[in-house]
Amino acid sequence: MRRKLAAGNWKMNGLRADLAALDTLAEQRGFDVDVLICLPATLIGSCAGLPFAIGGQDCHSATHGAHTGDISAAMLADIGATHVITGHSERRSDHHETDAMVAAKSRAAHEAGLTAIICIGETLVQRADGSTLAVIDAQLAGSVPDCATADNTVIAYEPIWAIGTGKVPTTEQIAEVHAHIRARLAARFADGADFGILYGGSVKAENAAAIFAVPHVTGALVGGASLKPADFTPIIAALAAS
């Protein structure tokens, strides 16, 4: 099993002045889990020397070229990132990213030496009509490239209806999806039993311990609660204690 991973996703938040929060987070560390902060690309280069990993939030599928405004995986690696989020639901919806595009971005991440955190998850409508596991199957099949291994890929299950809403699935619902993802990975990849599988969506200090007790949950991808050390540190501590 991979080491546990507490990953923060700052989304489109943070100016250089806000990096002081990372120094505070660093002071409070000492937990035996991996900590990763996925920052806006503008801030990644300013984070050398901090005692945790830094990641991007997206990359282009091409290595270089005429793609105004985009960033390649190699560029992220060049400024010190070790991870990149691919297929976040906000990019799937805001930028019409398809599973095939997510797979191509994840492959580009691997080729640049980055770990891809590939996001999947159902909408509330899909949850309500009983198609959650079918959606997960389609996203896993379409978004996770064949070159994925437990060393270069982490799956993040983020139910879209739980992101930024304060609504969290029951632990039974998380358990069902995580066990399903584990089984699908084990069937497809030689080291599928070893992939990290994160949960994301309204993770807070108050619910973290219950979520981390769910089988096959190896960590969290945390949005809003990763912005302040006072909110993120207890989540890291809960993961370390799980």
Ligand X SMILES: O=C(CO)COP(=O)(O)O
Smallest distance, ligand X to C-beta of residue 164, A:
4
- Label the pairing between strands 34-38 and 196-200: unpaired
Site residues (CB under 6 A) for ligand X, limited to 53-92: 88
Q: Does 201 bind ligand X (CB under 6 A)?
A: yes
Q: Does 9 bind ligand X (CB under 6 A)?
A: yes
State yes or no: 223 annotated in a binding site: yes
Site residues (CB under 6 A) for ligand X, limited to 117-156: none
Residues with Cβ < 8 Å from 235, sequence gap 6 or more? 6, 203, 204, 205, 208, 220, 222, 225, 226
Residue 176 designated active-site: no
Q: Please, how many CA atoms are within 13 Å of residue 51, restricted to the half-sphere of its CB?
A: 11
Q: Does 196 bind ligand X (CB under 6 A)?
A: no
- Given 51, 164, 193, 206, the residue binding ligand X (CB under 6 A): 164
**How many residues belong to the site for ligand X (CB under 6 A)?**
14
Q: Does 224 bind ligand X (CB under 6 A)?
A: yes
Q: Which is nearer to ligand X, 147 or 206 (CB)?
A: 206
Residue 88 designated active-site: yes
Q: Does 169 bind ligand X (CB under 6 A)?
A: no
From CA 154, how far away is CA 104, in angstroms rounded?
15
From CA 170, how far away is CA 30, in angstroms rounded?
30
Cite the DSSP H helix spans in the chain. Answer: 20-27, 41-44, 73-78, 89-94, 99-111, 124-128, 132-143, 171-188, 205-212, 229-241
- Given 202, 207, 218, 233, the residue binding ligand X (CB under 6 A): 202
Catalytic residue (choose from 60, 97, 158, 178): 158
Of 120, 143, 131, 133, which Cα lies nearest the Cα of 197? 120
Residues with Cβ < 8 Å from 144, sequence gap 6 or more? 103, 106, 118, 153, 155, 188
State yes or no: 11 annotated in a binding site: yes
Q: Does 215 bind ligand X (CB under 6 A)?
A: no
Determine contact, residues 52/232, Cβ cutoff 8 Å.
no
- Given 145, 158, 232, 236, the residue binding ligand X (CB under 6 A): 158
- Given 103, 136, 155, 163, the residue binding ligand X (CB under 6 A): 163
Binding residues for substrate: 9-11, 164, 202, 223-224
Catalytically active residues, by annotation: 88, 158
Chain positions contacting ligand X, by CB under 6 A: 9, 88, 158, 163-164, 200-203, 221-225
